[in-house]
Amino acid sequence: METFVMATHNAHKIAELSRILEPMGIHVVAAEVPDVEETGTTFEENARLKAVSACQATGLPSVADDSGIEVDALNGAPGIYSARYAGENATDADRNKKLLEELKDVPMEKRTARFVSAISCVFPQGEEICVTGICEGKVAFQPKGQDGFGYDPIFLVGEKTYAELSPQEKDAVSHRGKALRMLQQELKKRRENQDADE
């Protein structure tokens, strides 16, 4: 079993990563690494900053995700500022409330949005993998569902919000599920190349 460190304090993200990588023989652990200032201008840049920092701090292969929601009616906001959208110590409910208030007069057909997840994987020898998954949807008029976290209760994929889906249903369609499956493919390729070199 290979150990990968995930640079996050978010237990939900670790659970999602584990569900997809454990079958490949990769054990995911959370790392207590210094908080990184997310100075990147894209999800990809911020994910890489976090993964590089965790790899340097632990000496282990490190995975970091930077994700958020882009709303077309708000010119792509909150985007990379999704986690800080309603202020530093805001809760998920605060962020959802702020977003719904900003969209209160926007009709359903104009509430298009997407969730983006960039995942960076950095290895101690200097190799890097970066993948990005996207899920298109719409912003609901009110929160629905008990599962999920973040903006899940107000993000509609078809008739249901992310928070109304089971973990397996969410993994099948979500931005992070797509990105993790791409990461899985890249890690498989990397393993095959290593085996060929030996």
Active site residues: 66
How large is the angle between the packed helices 175-197 and 11-21, nearest 10 degrees?
A: 50
Max Cα-Cα span within the chain = 61
Beta bridge partners of 9: none
Q: Are strands 155-157 and 62-71 parallel, antiparallel or unpaired?
A: unpaired
Q: Where do we find the tokens 């969410």?
A: 170
Nearest to 151 by CA among 91, 74, 75: 91
Instruction: Based on DSSP, count helices (H) and strands (E) in the chain, helices before strands.
Output: 5, 7
d(CA 82, CA 194): 38
What φ, ψ does residue 86 adopt, rounded to 5°? Answer: -110, 20
CB atoms within 10 A of CB 105: 7
